[in-house]
């Protein structure tokens, strides 16, 4: 079996993988991007709902070396961001290898290279790639996750995951339960309510609710003051804006929003109108589900409600740890993967070494990654030239 050599192997053609490839191309460092779907940014192109807009101001969502158009709004739409990614791929001449599903990735201590075994889904053939560096850019949104619920199979209505949800239009006048109170769950609940669905949402765990303006302020202030100081300010502003959330069935976490993001990868909810619907009673907040009987769903506390549809906005399970078994630092490893400690779209690319993790900034993470790759390649080139002279 022929082994294909590359300096850098990138797994994943989402925004982080594309950004990595663009930076490497800028330095003329050979690389290959392996993507299991049939397009880049497949999550954005295939598995997002129609009304989706970026929750962060556009300057915090730009990829390296190319800004979003000045004519675009502060919070760009799904379609606008996809167009931006299309233009980005064209500009930096990124050519992912599609329909490549990684089956294993092993580091060879003798050759000091990564060997990545890939299945070509189109031909069902096995391909092997070898490279000095492996960048895992698969993100935290790999495979849809639906939790186990007692007697789940007895539910007589429609069940979908948030990746299958497009619009609330088809659910007008139906009783719909959204399970999951992250940003996707909250926005889907809002969309359903706006389309006339009788909407309920399960809020099981404590969650911070912030406005877009609060998050923008926090991201700006992080350049100048500590996480703890920013957290204290944002929690105070949230209390002033939203008041006591416990009367609606929502609890605030003990730790601040940015601390939770850094430690556990847990994002605050960025409110774009859902709170107002909850306050008015148009969206009902419910505790955790305990069981299902027919179309009746039972909840903690003993109450039950009938539903026509359940939308699971319960996140994803990651396939990466099935094929990548590196779980600790090693002087030869560029990437650190820790089970259950993935912390976001950008930061699944982790540079070797210590230091404060940057929140949501692909550019700063990549700058460290690319610098280390370039430095090591230069060292290797100098060493080889000494051997041949």
Query: pLDDT digit string (tens) for 138-165?
Result: 765 567 888 888 888 899 999 999 999 9
Quick one: fold of 3-142+318-388?
FAD/NAD(P)-binding domain (3.50.50)
Q: For residue 292, what pLDDT band results from cuts at 50, 70 and 90?
A: very high
Number of neighbours of residue 23 by Cβ within 10 angstroms? 24
CB neighbour class for 295 (10 Å; exposed up to 12, middle 13-18, buried from 19) = middle
112 has pLDDT over 50: yes
Q: How far apart are CA 60 and CA 164, in angstroms?
A: 27
* Mean pLDDT of the residues in the chain: 83
Mean pLDDT on 233-239: 97
Phi, psi of 307 (to 5 degrees): -140, 145
pLDDT digits (tens, 9 = 90+) for 27-68: 888 999 999 999 999 989 988 888 888 888 888 888 888 999
Q: How far apart are CA 111 and CA 125, in angstroms?
A: 25
Task: Give the pLDDT score at 107.
Answer: 81
> Domain locations in the chain?
3-142+318-388, 149-312
pTM of the full structure: 0.78
Quick one: fold of 149-312?
FAD/NAD(P)-binding domain (3.50.50)
Task: Give the pLDDT score at 147.
Answer: 85
Are the folds of 3-142+318-388 and 149-312 the same? yes
Would you say 132 and 377 are in contact if contact means Cβ atoms under 8 Å apart? yes
CB neighbour class for 321 (10 Å; exposed up to 12, middle 13-18, buried from 19) = middle
């Amino acid at each position: 079996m022929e082994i294909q050599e590359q300096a850098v192997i990138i797994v994943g053609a989402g925004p982080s993988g594309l950004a990595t490839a663009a930076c490497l191309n800028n330095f003329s460092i050979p690389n290959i991007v392996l993507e299991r779907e049939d397009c880049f940014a497949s999550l954005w192109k295939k598995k997002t709902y129609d009304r989706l807009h970026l929750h962060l101001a556009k300057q915090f969502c730009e990829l390296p070396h190319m800004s979003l158009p000045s004519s675009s709004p502060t919070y760009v739409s799904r379609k606008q961001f996809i167009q931006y990614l299309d233009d980005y791929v064209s500009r930096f001449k990124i050519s992912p290898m599609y329909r490549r599903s990684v089956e294993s990735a092993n580091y060879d201590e003798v050759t000091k290279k990564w060997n990545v075994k890939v299945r070509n889904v189109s031909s069902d053939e096995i391909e092997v790639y070898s490279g000095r560096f492996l960048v895992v850019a698969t993100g935290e949104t790999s495979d849809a996750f639906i939790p186990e619920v007692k007697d789940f199979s007895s539910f007589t209505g429609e069940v979908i995951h948030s990746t299958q949800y497009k619009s609330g239009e088809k659910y007008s006048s139906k009783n719909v339960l959204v399970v999951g109170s992250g940003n996707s769950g909250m926005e889907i609940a809002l969309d359903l309510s706006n389309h006339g669905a009788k909407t309920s949402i399960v809020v099981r765990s404590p969650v911070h609710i912030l406005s877009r303006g609060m998050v923008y302020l926090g991201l700006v202030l992080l350049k100048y003051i500590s996480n703890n100081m920013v957290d204290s300010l944002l929690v105070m502003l949230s209390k002033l804006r939203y008041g006591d959330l416990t009367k609606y069935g929502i609890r605030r976490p003990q730790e601040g929003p940015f601390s939770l993001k850094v430690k556990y990868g847990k994002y605050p909810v960025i409110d774009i109108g859902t709170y107002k619907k909850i306050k008015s009673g148009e969206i009902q907040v419910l505790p955790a589900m305990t069981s299902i009987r027919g179309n009746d769903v039972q909840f903690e506390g003993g109450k039950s409600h009938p539903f026509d549809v359940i939308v699971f906005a319960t996140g994803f399970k990651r396939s990466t740890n099935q094929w990548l078994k590196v779980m600790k630092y090693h002087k030869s490893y560029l990437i650190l993967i820790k089970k259950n400690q993935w912390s976001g779209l950008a930061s699944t690319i982790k540079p070797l070494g210590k230091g404060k993790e940057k929140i949501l900034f692909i550019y700063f993470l990549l700058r460290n990654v690319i610098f280390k790759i370039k430095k090591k390649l230069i060292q290797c080139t100098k060493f080889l030239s000494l051997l041949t002279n």
